[in-house]
Structure formats: structure tokens, C-alpha cells
Amino acid sequence: MSDEAASPHESDADVTDPETDGGERPQTHTIRLELVDKPGELLSALHPIAENGGNLLSIFHERGNLTPRGHIPVEVDVECPPDRFETIVQALREEGVNVIQAGAERYGEELTLLLVGDIVDTDLSDTLRRIESSTDATLADLSLSAPDGRGGASSARLRLATRTGRMDEVFDHVRAIADEKELNLIEPLVEVAE
């Protein structure tokens, strides 16, 4: 037997513990999505996962439940190397998929804000899109009240899931958007120790 022959233990380890090209072992990650109720939306959301090296483990598709925005919540468990997870999340966003939560640590804090003014006519969709595309936050919940219809004052309560430690940065960005659109922003209440 030559010195170059691998021992049985070495070959078993290679088979049972596969490593990625970066040397990291695949891990399980949970991604929570919010999808529009249209044919093909789920397939479109799964495509960026497969394209970026994610192995689909399970899908929990709550078609009977709707989010406050009238969309369908979907929870996807994916196995991939840690170095590819952020790429998958970014690819989902680039595909236009609303990522509510990505992994256990991604969005560790919540920020609830109230916008008051002519929210509907200043394009609420644009406001939400700008908040999500340029901050480390995603919309977790939305409540809109427009008692006088489209032409009157309205209010929107936004609950944003933010990356841990980024709440001030997200709040400053929302404040800038509100100022630009001439909306009043009610700041979150903070407990003060006596």
C-alpha cells in the first residue's frame, strides 16, 4: 500500500461533512417573504434562491392568511453556506420580493412610526419602496386610515423590522422622506428611567 492512499476515516469525513468552495459548511436559514396573490409569484421568489446556491428544505405557504397589505406570507427554509446567504437575500430583493425577515439575527429590532398628512396622494407605495430600498429595514405591518377619502388627511402606522443597531439610521431616513413629501412624522415613544 502506498503512503499516498487515504485512510478510511479521511474519506468518510469528506463524504459526511461537505464543505463549500469557501470552506464553510452549509447552514439552515429561514426567510420570511410577503408575496402578491398572483400565479407564478412563488416560483419567481424561489428562482433567486436556487440561482444563488440555496438548497430548498421547506416552504410554508399561508394562502388562507393575508398580511395587513393583503399579501400572502410565505416562510422558506433554505440550506446554504453562510457566505451565500446575503447574496440570496439581495437577489430576492432585486427580483422585487418583499423580504420580511432573513435569518434569526437579521432584523432584531422593530420601529413603529406614524405618518400623518396627504399620504395617499403623495404616493404611499413610493414611500414604502424608498424606505425598504435604501435602509436596513423592511415593512412588517401597515395600517392606513383615510376617513375623508383620497383628498383628505390620512395617517399610516408603519411597523418596520430593522437590523439590530440601525434604528436611528432608519428613523433619520424616514424623517427625510416625510420632510420631502410634507408629511408629519410622529416619533416613537421612548421609555425614560426615573
Phi/psi at 126 (5° precision): -65, -45
| Domains in the chain, CATH or no CATH each | 24-102 (3.30.70.60), 109-186 (3.30.70.260)
Report pLDDT digits (tens) over 1-48: 444 444 444 444 443 444 445 556 788 888 888 888 888 888 888 999
Average pLDDT, the chain: 78
3-state secondary structure of 186: strand
Q: Tell me, what amino acid is at 112?
A: T
**DSSP type of residue 148:** T
Q: Tell me, what amino acid is at 98?
A: N
- Closest Cα to residue 88, out of 54, 133, 129, 120? 54
Burial class (CB in 10 A: 0-12, 13-18, 19+), 190: exposed
Q: Is the pTM of this model over 0.85?
A: no
Report pLDDT digits (tens) over 51-98: 998 998 888 887 777 776 778 888 888 888 888 888 999 999 888 888
CB-CB neighbours of 127 under 10 Å: 20
